[in-house]
Structure 1
Amino acid sequence: MAYPVLPDLVISDDDIVVTYIHASGPGGQNVNKVATAVQLRFDATRCAALTSRMRARLRLLAGSRMTREGEVILTAQKFRSQTRNREDAIERLCELLRQAAHVPTRRIATRPSRTQRRRRMDDKARRGQVKQGRGRPTLD
């Protein structure tokens, strides 16, 4: 099965390893018998669909969820069924990959205008006057 992330990016089922583990939280007696939580592993270094730029952004976005070897590990235990937790983990991975594919626009540094600088200094002086007026009154 293939999971479409973007129109030009599709992740195959071979790139994803899903294991089921015991979940904490609600579930009654069922929680002790059935492994409903999902641990999803995605090897970003071996995935041919990702570019090197996407891998670098994915490393930044994933943070501690990515191992040194370049494997993204996501755990999903929000729901009480395996299938819904699996769908949730895959959707979270797809969203992470969408964010990694998006290239942020670079900010162009601009300088404040003369009017803005003057207004800032006037406001600063006014705030200083207000704070000075809060002090203990003098006997003059």
Structure 2
Amino acid sequence: MKKTYHGSCHCKAVTFEADFDLAGGTGKCNCTFCWKQRMWKTAPIGPDDFRLLSGHASLADYGEAGDWGEQHHRFCKTCGIATHNEGDMPMLGGKFVMVHVAALDDLDVQDLLAAPVRCADGLHNAWEKTPDEVRHL
């Protein structure tokens, strides 16, 4: 069942709310970007299910684009905490947002632990495959 969650960066300059169903799963990836951030995110949600409440001017962007589409990693310029990423990628169904679960302020840990986790082998550009080793993700 879809629920509204609230989140923020560490210094609270960036705040948001997002509607999603944890039963839809979460994701981790072994690409160098996700690995270095220890990124754990929600499954893709529609842009209309994400609302930035404050801090637009506080958000920095690390973007990347290619034949696969584009993606923008958003983080607070003040405290450096990543809150979400957004983009437009055909393999994810078009425009999307993924919320970083660590940025959620009202997420019950037991609900997170019960949610399915999908791991992707981004390191080898084999996004549809699960890496051989995922314990470190």
Q: Do both proteins adopt the same fold according to a TM-score greater than 0.5, normalized to the shorter chain?
A: no
Higher strand share: 2
- TM-score band (shorter)? under 0.3
- Considering Cα pairs closer than 8 Å and 6+ residues apart, tell me whether 1 or 2 has the greater RCO: 2
Higher helix share: 1
TM-score, scaled to structure 2:
0.27
TM-score, scaled to structure 1:
0.26
Q: Whose radius of gyration is greater, 1 or 2?
A: 1
